[in-house]
Amino acid sequence: MSTSSAASRRGDGTDAAQVRPPMRDALVAAAFRLFLERGYEQTTVDDIVALAGVGRRSFFRYFPSKEDVVFPDHERCLADMKAFLARSPEDADPVRQVCDAARLVLRMYAENPAFSVQRYHLTKKVPGLRAYELSVVWRYERALAEYLRGRLGGRPDGILRADVIAAAVVAAHNNALRSWLRSEGREDAAAAVDHALAFAQSAFGDVPVPPRGESPEDVVVVAARRGTPLWQVLREIESAF
């Protein structure tokens, strides 16, 4: 499987960290300093803008709410994911594509391990942030499912497959991400997510869009316990073919 082809390119060829406005970064830094010192609930938007030395309007120019400052890069990452999927080659394996798209999220977390680990601990403590995070995860999952529906929709159970594969890929990704966050960002994030996504991918196989005239039923799968007499396996294969 490819390891991080998605993570190594960006649509615009630039590094997002360079084009992010400094005032936005200053607001995020001020917010996190206060969240860690006083607690999330005890910090107001007014406290954040006072520390950052800007006005309230500047805050709301970048962030619709206090919750959004905790997850400042998800909108960009979601847009990157959709752009990556939109430019997928027609003949690409759709399951592999959504795995590569999921790697973009890991890359965002791994860009700044200290910040990601801080946020992980904060999110565990604040129920409102966990709810916000669930809605973000749901949006990533929908983006993957939408792409898969487009690719698999014409096949029997295409919509069902799309939804289940998207959920499995997100769960595998998040399992690896959480394990990396619990290691305080010390584990190899890319290796952990590659391993987890390989499991999701193996469950659904390579799901190539079948060439015209060939139906998905044309692949025969036989499973047998090692030690089964060969004649018994052969009989099963013959009846399947």
Q: Which is nearer to a copy of itself, 7 or 145 (CB)?
A: 145
Least spacing, CB of residue 30 vs a copy of itself, in Å? 27
Among 114, 219, 231, 239, binds a copy of itself (CB under 8 A): 219
CA distance 198 to 96: 9
Tell me: does residue 79 bind a copy of itself (CB under 8 A). no
The count of other CB atoms within 10 Å of the CB of residue 193 is 29
Tell me: does residue 241 bind a copy of itself (CB under 8 A). yes
Tell me: does residue 230 bind a copy of itself (CB under 8 A). yes
Token pair in block for residue 90: 């027609």
Least spacing, CB of residue 207 vs a copy of itself, in Å? 11
CA 240 to each of CA 43, 66, 112, 215, 230: distance values in angstroms, whole numbers, following the listed order: 65, 59, 52, 15, 15
Q: What is the dihedral of CA 98, 103, 108, 113, to 10 degrees?
A: 150
Tell me: does residue 226 bind a copy of itself (CB under 8 A). yes
CA–CA–CA angle 95, 176, 191 (5° rounding): 80
- Binding residues for a copy of itself restricted to 191-210, rule: CB under 8 A: 195-196, 199-200, 203-205
Least spacing, CB of residue 50 vs a copy of itself, in Å? 30
- Binding residues for a copy of itself restricted to 160-189, rule: CB under 8 A: 160-161, 163-164, 166-168, 170-172, 174-176
Counted residue by residue, the chain has a size of 241
Query: Which H helix or E strand runs over 241?
Result: none
Q: Is 9 left (phi over 0), alpha (psi -120 to 50) or beta?
A: beta
Among 79, 138, 184, 232, binds a copy of itself (CB under 8 A): 138
How many residues lie near a copy of itself (CB under 8 A)?
A: 42
Which residue is it, tokens 């499991």? 199
CA distance 196 to 164: 16
Q: Which is nearer to a copy of itself, 50 or 171 (CB)?
A: 171
**Residues at the site binding a copy of itself, with contacts judged by CB under 8 A:** 131, 134-135, 138, 157, 159-161, 163-164, 166-168, 170-172, 174-176, 195-196, 199-200, 203-205, 217-227, 230, 233-234, 237, 241
